[in-house]
Structure 1
Amino acid sequence: MLFIYRASAGSGKTFLLTRFYIELLFKRELTPSLEAGRDLSFSEILAVTFTNKATAEMKERIVRELKKLWENPQASDYYKCLKKPDSKGIVMSDEEIQNRAHGILKGMLTDYSNVHISTIDKFFQQVVRSFAHELNQQSDYAVELDTDSVLDHAVTQFLLNLDNANDRETFDWLLRFSNKRLQDGAKWDVHDSLFTLAKVLTTEDYRIYSESIAKFTADKKAMADYAEMLNQIVQQWTSDLRRIGKSCTRILSDCDLTVDDFSYKATSFASNFAFWTAGKEKNSRLTDAADDPTKWFPKKDQHKLAQMGSRVAEMQGLLQEAINLLDGERNTEYVSAKLLQANIYQLGLLEKLEKAADKYCAEQGIKLLNNTTQMLNALVSGQSSPFVYEKTGTRIASYMIDEFQDTSGMQWQNFAPLLSDSLGNGNRNLIVGDVKQSIYRFRGSNWELLHSHINNFERQKQQKKDDDGNDLQLLDNWRSDRKIIEFNNAFFKYLSETLCAMGGDNPEYEKIREVYADVAQKIAVEREAKGVQTGRVAFEILSDDEDEASDKTKKTDYNALVAKRLPEIVVALQQQGRRPKDIIVLCRTNSECGICAAALMDYAAKHPDSPYPMAIITEEALQLGRHPVVRALVAALEFLHDPKSDHRAAVAAICWRSLSSASMSDAIAGHFAAPSMPDFTSLLNLPLYETVERLIAMLPDSARDQSNFIQAFCDVVLDFCTSDAPSLDRFLTWWHEKGFKCSVTTPTEQDAISIMTIHKSKGLAGDAVIVPFADILLDIDLQKPPTIWCRPNAEPFCRENLAIPIKANLKMQKSIFADDFAAERVRNIIDSLNNVYVAFTRARHELILLAPTPPADSKGTSMKLEKFLNNFFNGDAWTGGNDAASLVIDERMLADRQASDTTDIAATANDSHFICPEVHLPVIKQTTYVAPSDSAAARGTTLHAAFSAIIDRDHVDEPITRMFESGKAQLQGFTLDEVLQHIHNALSCDEARTWFDPQNRTLNEQDIITQSTHTQRPDRIVLTPDGRTIVIDYKTGEERNTRYRKQVGHYVKLLREMGFPQVEGHIWYVESGEIVPVTA
């Protein structure tokens, strides 16, 4: 039996997968192929999913539930499933469940390698390696995941081996390729252009056609004849157009007429003639002119028509001929020939590049992961599925395929025979997916497999209901609050129907409606019984106050608006009870993620006393290559590799110095003021790993605190050292190609805001989800056009098995490839729509959408998401309101709330690079945070930060100037000179001057850890030469709050308990000069 489930977002898919797996293990009758009396083993079930993370989570959940069923069956969510009577009415006892669970769990833990829960690629790798071993072929190859590196080497070798004399055709193809790129205004760099083309080699479409392409390009004469045929069609069409243009121009000359004599002048039909004469397409007002000559001239100039006499009929005949060339069958043929002519030579280049890539892989003993599927497909083609079993040594009874919408065509072809064999034995198999969540088509996934193709697979074995008589569509939502569910139901119904209607009569567009036919969800009954929160959906258009009337916001301007608004929303959410870890920011691209990360880090830098943490987790921020400590270590290694290079020496010295400097700019300035270099010479002849260990020992103390990044770098170096000949030269080459992308793993309990792309968010959920760039294009992006593999099936272009890769463009709509373009356009619309669906369905309690002002769309053709959102919230399809007004900062809470903790790992800004996670104890800021819009409060915040930067009274100007230049403080309506004046005025007080005496030992904003592990942070602690301990707290403004005295008194008490002598406390109102002594 085959169960095909369609599982919408948040509908309990993980529960379904685990239940299906556990029931197979516990219920013998579900596997008829078993020998009598034998239970199904976990090693006889294969469950495949899309990512390693999903695989690990599924394994963990199964083991966790088996443990519950063993220890306390009734505590498991799957207890009720196992207590259902079998076909004979027999019910398993609790003791039987416990014994069976214990046996399964014990077997799994002692033979974990035979728990077949893996990614589909890993399964195929195992099969291919088994075949390689049986066939006495190389089976110890390394799987190469970095296809870009392989393609880069292949392109380089192709260019180096290019011989103009012996391979003239290839050289001509390359010249054509380069000329076409120049004509299109693309980059002229040949290597980069070929590298972009070579990426086609990794696609499944190319692998499908690669054999026929090789045959086509192998016949040089046939290929040359085909190219000549295309050339003749283009030349004949161009020649005819020029002839018509010249004839029409001659008629005007003979009749003493010019373009300005005709109606509409420069845009009249006569304006086309000059273009036609030059062989260029132009079709301005042509049809009307051919149909009705009376429209040629203005009413007052109708005598000119009579003046033309018999030439009018001649002109009409030429115009009709032009219409056929520009709009008729001749134009279709011409445009098709032009498209083929511009791309056919790419086939030859692709075939050459593939050979170069194969040669490189063979030399390196590697195989691209992308090629495994094709290898297996060729291997099992025409073979029965037992043949696969025999060679792998594994017998699978039941299959479970998760995320089926992300499966590719070849992957399914490889799996289908295995499922057929299992179904033939009467066993149970499971397929789960959701077309609406198919967002990986760029990796080869084919959502049409689940949408339609699967319906024709083993139709008689497919089940319509589950064992309880329920439909195989999971429509209960277990994730989101009521309003979010209702919003998504209404919005995606409205959006899919609107997009479908925009396709007119084109049947391809009906697929949009079909894919989203099951979008409506309801709250699960069990959730409803326990009570479901209302939730919040907010949509906000961001625009400058000065430009409210504008119908278009430039992208750069909108980025600035997001950078301003996003931190405000995060603060508002935290005020309303959300922790940073509850918040997810979803973007379409990595660059948008970078804008959001920079905005939050910039806000944190400008508001150091904010009680609302802006700690973030981003994939980019956690890359080893971006961390200053790792960059310093690599710079030192590069110097050791080339110790005579002044450049390497300077870079290493500056990177090393930056680890103990306030900023990179300080490090650079310090280096050029007083050049210095750590003594690395003793490390010149050491092995690589030992060199790294010695360098780490030489790091400044502050840098060695970055233990997680240092340890991760050591692990990377150690892994590299297990390879062949781990020399320093090879390591540095590998590091700059691949290694720098390695990242540290963050703990799951990390209390930080997650910023990620929509693709990375698949399978995740957040209490509050923010989509700051809800301006997604719901259409094919012609600025970054996809490649469409087209088969020229119309005469005279068709050739057996020929397929041509064409970059999508609007000209295809007038060619024999119009249907290909329409199909690809619909696929792109569904891709974009699915991205929006995945983003909007991640939210549990709050969904917040930000977008620019929708563009003017008088023709109703805009395909931008913000237009549809705006129309939806302002139309009749949605009655749930807009909660955007609730996302405001409560100014009172800014002053009252104190942060309870901060994260263990936080990304902050430091010049042009990230300072990634620091491991430190939690910090609680004790200073009152004030709204930056309040100028007096902002001045106080700035003065407070300035005093924290001052060590003694002899060095005041330099640290404050540096603080402002580095962006660590704001100038809120006054100049740097004014701030310095405030500081010097405050230090004119005699008592205050003693606190800044150079003879004192000063501790600025140092943490005090209490016995309860809480942290306190006084503004300034002064240890005087005469043995006194003075604790000072800065205050600004007029308020004299008793809370301040209590706070400083607590500091005094803590310092006395720690053993500090003669402790005294003072509150210093720096603007008025008043000093208030405090005793504990």
Structure 2
Amino acid sequence: MTDNIIIYNASAGSGKTYQLALNYLKILNKIYEEGEFNLKSLLAITFTNKASFEMKERIISFLKEIYKQTEKGKIKTYETGISPERAEFFLEEIFLNYDSFQIKTIDSFLLNLYRALSYELDMPADFQIKTYIEKNLIEKALNEIFEAAKKTEGLLKFLENFVDYLLTNEEKLKIDIKNKLIKDSEKIFQKITYKKELLDTLGTYQENKIEKIFLDFNEIETFKDPKDYYLVLYTLLKKKLEEVFSREKTLFIGIWKEILSQHLTFFPEFIPWIYVKLGKLEGIIIDEFQDTDRVQWEAILPIVEDVLSRNKFFICACDPKQSIFQWKGGDPFILAEFMQKFSSYPIKVEVLGKNYRSAVEIVKFNNLFFSYINKNLELKKELLEELIFGKEKIEEKEEILTYVLKDFDWSFENVIQEAVNDFKGEVECKFLKMEENIEGKSPKEKVKELIKKEILNILRDLEQKKDLDDVAILVRKNEDITELSSFLISEGFKVIGSSFLKIKESPLINAFFSLLKFLNYLEDEIALAGFLSGDFFENSLDILSKYCEFKLTGSNISLVEFFKKEYPSLWENYIEEILSVRKYLSLYELCQYIVKKFKLEEKKNKELAYLYKFLSIILDFSFKGGDLEEFLEYWEKYSEDELEMPKDKSAIKVLTFHLAKGLEFNHVILPLFWEEKPYSSDLGLVFYNGNIYKGRKNELPGEGKIGWYLEKAKIKMELFNLLYVGFTRAIKTLYILIPEIEETRDFSKFEVTRVFNKVYSFLRDKTENFLL
């Protein structure tokens, strides 16, 4: 193996995991032959835990084939240079030292690295990581800043000026300024986990303008730009939060990544310490490179540089067309920067041009659809112009479009694939016209009902053909999953929905669990309040509001006593009756009784999917002999990671595009009907050409406005990536549902429907034999 840098341009279904696993074994064999074998010396980074597991499984499978010298194994011996004897040795090493088998997510690797260097970074070894910052911690840090202001004239002056600015300039600002600051801070610190520009900005402000507050408070009068107020406050808050975290031995994910990145970038002497602690790296492989964010990349880049400086290996797989995580910071353009940075090295770029997943009809459809957009400048420009600008007319439009078109062309330049499979498949574009008998409260609701009806027709047809195995319906949002899953369950279908993985977020389940807690301990007022807020029966919310009014009179009566005294019939009919039967019923039977008693299947039909999943978990727990008290303890500790997508091909899968990425299904149903939120910049801050701008779009100067529209363009262009990911999940049949929508305000945000219709019309009018 002579190529030190290999970049795979890997379209959907092109055998990316196969190639990465093969390269892993080639590098592993090279390390062995050089006489310094250590399983830890090769690192493979994936985007998800599932992808890590799949790559490990593939590598072990390859080694077993080589060891057994199957027909495939003989080919892999030729491709990797690994003999059966060496394959046996590698398998033993993996099984005996599985912890050294370094195939993990990038955050998992960076966290291990941070923990290993905790002493050098002056951090306690037993710190806890937080993936988000709770409101109470932000409030605590703000309170400490306010307390410090009493003793620091400059800080007090700054805060007074900031409050004056908020009251004067912020629309709809109520009296609770503190609550606004907490909410804004929550947003910005969540962005810090992946937004490199924010980290750099806060770092810069920490060095200069913060000093003005403490050293020369008269300088505060120079804070004329609104962004100064925000950035100074966030920098102060970030510094104070770090102090709070340090006291509590916790660390926020965005902050520890920044600390690690800074130390590895500015103190190269840390690299040898990494190798002392974790072993010397001889090669790095990165999957789904387009989903890496800049904070992650800045942290790992110094290690990549060191590996390449020693003439070792860096391999990655990237497909900008599948970049659908830009809202989480995923940046496909990091790859272009990497290639420029390491242009002095020989870089091998290999386009994986075959499709091993889909039927030839599906591959041809995707080739035609996406290549036509990319090659037809008139169409492409019209689509992008409408998505980014709408009917707005701005001077900088052509300049912005030049940037955007260049990025679009780069993303979709390798879209054409060669189909490998010869089995028959089909693409059905179903244009749905509104029917008079469709019911719905609004035009949008009517379209949803029309789509449900068509989905039902497709499923019934597949059922009749005995071909209902492995069907997926892809939707845009989690709430769509819940609604559609509940509908299909009511029609008698077995359903698995990706939103079940977030079962603890269901209001119904939280209220149900609160009731179980209360039944177990009748003095638990918090549990009773949680149950009543679930609106299980008429007047339940009234009980809470009237109790709050009653408490304002100074009464010390408990919520339990108030419920018994003021609503005796409800207490007897529900609580006492359930308590009376509880001792005769198992945990699962008790829960079934509650469902029937409160008629939850009728009242909560939009959350049926969650309810049935919850009952399924309780049933499994009951089989192990657990009682109510044990279940309550179990549920408090219950990790939703345990709720992975079951591999039941007979159930209909209802998934978001993001969860479906990397998966494949025999039949995919894709309703092109979802509403996009209007674009707004993060807290009104725009980063462009190393500058920061703050304000409403129309108030921004030329460069600030260009930056605003370019950020919007990134988000809007993701629509094409979503379509690509959706269309390429299908193996045998792709059903695309396109409802007829009117050009009215009701449907103004349903951009995906209009985009598909426009492309389809162009293809139909200008392409011969275009039959879908």
TM range (shorter): 0.7 to 0.9
Moved more, 375-384 or 412-421: 412-421
Q: What is the rounded CA distance, in whole Å, between the counterparts of 1:657 and 1:866 in structure 2?
A: 40
Secondary structure at 1:619's aligned position in 2? helix
- What is the one-letter code of the residue matched to 2:415? A
Q: Displacement, 1:651? A: 4.5
Q: Displacement, 1:99? A: 1.0
Contact in 2 for aligned 1:653/1:677 (Cα 8 Å):
no
Asked if residue 63 in structure 1 is aligned to residue 60 in structure 2, the reply is: yes
Asked if residue 635 in structure 1 is aligned to residue 515 in structure 2, the reply is: yes
Q: Which residue of 2 aligns with 1:485?
A: 363
Secondary structure at 1:371's aligned position in 2? helix
- What is the one-letter code of the residue matched to 1:648? L
Once the two structures are superposed, residues 35-65 of structure 1 have per-residue CA deviations (whole angstroms, 9 ceiling, x without a partner) of 75x2744322100111111111111121122
What stretches of structure 1 of length at least 5 have no aligned partner? Answer: 87-91, 232-339, 466-471, 548-552, 605-612, 659-667, 683-693, 722-727, 794-800, 884-1080
Pick closer, same or farther for the CA change 1:857–1:873 going to 2, 3 Å. farther
Q: Displacement, 1:123? A: 1.1
Q: What is the rounded CA distance, in whole Å, between the counterparts of 1:113 and 1:389 in structure 2?
A: 17
Q: Displacement, 1:405? A: 0.9
Once the two structures are superposed, residues 936-965 of structure 1 have per-residue CA deviations (whole angstroms, 9 ceiling, x without a partner) of xxxxxxxxxxxxxxxxxxxxxxxxxxxxxx
Contact in 2 for aligned 1:437/1:838 (Cα 8 Å):
yes
Contact in 2 for aligned 1:614/1:752 (Cα 8 Å):
yes
Contact in 2 for aligned 1:144/1:369 (Cα 8 Å):
yes
1:153 to 137, 152, 164: 137
Moved more, 809-818 or 358-367: 809-818
Q: Which residue of 1 aligns with 2:426?
A: 535
Q: Displacement, 1:131? A: 1.3
Secondary structure at 1:518's aligned position in 2? coil
Asked if residue 770 in structure 1 is aligned to residue 770 in structure 2, the reply is: no
Q: What is the rounded CA distance, in whole Å, between the counterparts of 1:53 and 1:193 in structure 2?
A: 38
Q: Which residue of 1 aligns with 2:306?
A: 421
2:462 to 561, 573, 578: 573
Q: What is the rounded CA distance, in whole Å, between the counterparts of 2:683 and 2:319 in structure 1?
A: 25
Q: Which residue of 2 aligns with 1:827?
A: 714
Contact in 2 for aligned 1:654/1:671 (Cα 8 Å):
no
Q: What is the rounded CA distance, in whole Å, between the counterparts of 2:185 and 2:725 in structure 1?
A: 30
Q: Displacement, 1:190? A: 5.0
Q: Displacement, 1:571? A: 1.9
Asked if residue 708 in structure 1 is aligned to residue 595 in structure 2, the reply is: no
Q: How many residues align?
A: 681
Once the two structures are superposed, residues 253-295 of structure 1 have per-residue CA deviations (whole angstroms, 9 ceiling, x without a partner) of xxxxxxxxxxxxxxxxxxxxxxxxxxxxxxxxxxxxxxxxxxx
Once the two structures are superposed, residues 654-684 of structure 1 have per-residue CA deviations (whole angstroms, 9 ceiling, x without a partner) of 99999xxxxxxxxx9986547516669x9xx
Pick closer, same or farther for the CA change 1:8–1:786 going to 2, 3 Å. farther
Secondary structure at 2:667's aligned position in 1? strand
Q: Which residue of 2 aligns with 1:219?
A: 212
Contact in 2 for aligned 1:539/1:848 (Cα 8 Å):
yes
Q: Which residue of 1 aligns with 2:751?
A: 864
Contact in 2 for aligned 1:873/1:881 (Cα 8 Å):
no
The RMSD of aligned alpha carbons is: 4.4
1:839 to 726, 729, 736: 726
Q: When the two structures are superposed, what TM-score results if normalisation uses the length of structure 2?
A: 0.77
Contact in 2 for aligned 1:154/1:360 (Cα 8 Å):
no
Once the two structures are superposed, residues 731-763 of structure 1 have per-residue CA deviations (whole angstroms, 9 ceiling, x without a partner) of 89x95xx96967634531352111111111111
Pick closer, same or farther for the CA change 1:123–1:230 going to 2, 3 Å. closer
Q: How does 1:229-248 map to 2 (within 5 A)?
A: none
Q: What is the rounded CA distance, in whole Å, between the counterparts of 1:574 and 1:698 in structure 2?
A: 35
Q: How does 1:587-606 map to 2 (within 5 A)?
A: 587-604=475-492
- What is the one-letter code of the residue matched to 2:287? D
Once the two structures are superposed, residues 776-814 of structure 1 have per-residue CA deviations (whole angstroms, 9 ceiling, x without a partner) of 65xxx5355445644688xxxxxxx8735x47x541565
Once the two structures are superposed, residues 168-197 of structure 1 have per-residue CA deviations (whole angstroms, 9 ceiling, x without a partner) of 5325424533654434x8997852663244
Q: How does 1:262-281 map to 2 (within 5 A)?
A: none
What stretches of structure 2 of length at least 5 have no aligned partner? Answer: 386-396, 539-567, 594-613
Pick closer, same or farther for the CA change 1:355–1:112 going to 2, 3 Å. same
Contact in 2 for aligned 1:144/1:366 (Cα 8 Å):
yes
Asked if residue 73 in structure 1 is aligned to residue 70 in structure 2, the reply is: yes
Q: Which residue of 2 aligns with 1:52?
A: 49
- What is the one-letter code of the residue matched to 1:841? T
Q: What is the rounded CA distance, in whole Å, between the counterparts of 1:844 and 1:652 in structure 2?
A: 47
2:286 to 401, 405, 422: 401
Asked if residue 98 in structure 1 is aligned to residue 84 in structure 2, the reply is: yes
Q: What is the rounded CA distance, in whole Å, between the counterparts of 1:102 and 1:565 in structure 2?
A: 54
Contact in 1 for aligned 2:670/2:726 (Cα 8 Å):
yes
Q: Displacement, 1:82? A: 2.5
Asked if residue 377 in structure 1 is aligned to residue 261 in structure 2, the reply is: yes
Q: What is the rounded CA distance, in whole Å, between the counterparts of 1:225 and 1:853 in structure 2?
A: 62
Secondary structure at 1:540's aligned position in 2? strand
Q: Which residue of 1 aligns with 2:418?
A: 523
Q: What is the rounded CA distance, in whole Å, between the counterparts of 2:373 and 2:700 in structure 1?
A: 25
Q: Displacement, 1:395? A: 0.9
Secondary structure at 1:446's aligned position in 2? coil
Asked if residue 109 in structure 1 is aligned to residue 95 in structure 2, the reply is: yes
Q: Which residue of 1 aligns with 2:182?
A: 194
Q: How does 1:612-761 map to 2 (within 5 A)?
A: 613-620=493-500, 623-624=503-504, 626=506, 632=512, 634-638=514-518, 643=523, 645=525, 648=528, 651=531, 673=573, 676=576, 700=589, 703=592, 706=615, 708-709=617-618, 744-749=643-648, 751-761=650-660
Contact in 2 for aligned 1:143/1:367 (Cα 8 Å):
yes
Secondary structure at 2:117's aligned position in 1? helix
Q: When the two structures are superposed, what TM-score results if normalisation uses the length of structure 1?
A: 0.56
Pick closer, same or farther for the CA change 1:826–1:632 going to 2, 3 Å. closer
Q: Displacement, 1:456? A: 1.2
Pick closer, same or farther for the CA change 1:442–1:671 going to 2, 3 Å. same
- What is the one-letter code of the residue matched to 2:729? R
Once the two structures are superposed, residues 854-912 of structure 1 have per-residue CA deviations (whole angstroms, 9 ceiling, x without a partner) of 55499xx99922223223323335556565xxxxxxxxxxxxxxxxxxxxxxxxxxxxx
Secondary structure at 2:119's aligned position in 1? helix
Q: What is the rounded CA distance, in whole Å, between the counterparts of 2:244 and 2:769 in structure 1?
A: 59
Q: What is the rounded CA distance, in whole Å, between the counterparts of 2:771 and 2:673 in structure 1?
A: 15
Higher-RCO chain (CA-CA 8 Å, sequence separation at least 6): 2
Pick closer, same or farther for the CA change 1:230–1:176 going to 2, 3 Å. closer
Q: Displacement, 1:134? A: 4.7
Pick closer, same or farther for the CA change 1:634–1:461 going to 2, 3 Å. same
Contact in 1 for aligned 2:482/2:497 (Cα 8 Å):
no
1:2 to 2, 5, 30: 5
- What is the one-letter code of the residue matched to 2:658? H
Q: Which has the higher helix share?
A: 2
Q: What is the rounded CA distance, in whole Å, between the counterparts of 1:672 and 1:354 in structure 2?
A: 52
Secondary structure at 2:171's aligned position in 1? helix
Larger Rg: 1
Moved more, 843-852 or 45-54: 843-852
Q: Displacement, 1:4? A: 1.1
Once the two structures are superposed, residues 212-239 of structure 1 have per-residue CA deviations (whole angstroms, 9 ceiling, x without a partner) of 12232331399988886686xxxxxxxx
Pick closer, same or farther for the CA change 1:200–1:675 going to 2, 3 Å. closer
Moved more, 617-626 or 129-138: 617-626
Contact in 2 for aligned 1:217/1:223 (Cα 8 Å):
no
Pick closer, same or farther for the CA change 1:448–1:570 going to 2, 3 Å. same
Secondary structure at 1:464's aligned position in 2? strand
% identical aligned pairs? 19
Q: What is the rounded CA distance, in whole Å, between the counterparts of 2:188 and 2:758 in structure 1?
A: 39
Pick closer, same or farther for the CA change 1:879–1:485 going to 2, 3 Å. farther
Contact in 1 for aligned 2:514/2:528 (Cα 8 Å):
no
2:230 to 346, 355, 362: 346
Q: Which residue of 2 aligns with 1:363?
A: 247
Contact in 2 for aligned 1:68/1:75 (Cα 8 Å):
yes
Q: Which residue of 1 aligns with 2:159?
A: 170
Q: Which residue of 2 aligns with 1:940?
A: none
Contact in 2 for aligned 1:437/1:834 (Cα 8 Å):
yes
Q: Which residue of 2 aligns with 1:318?
A: none
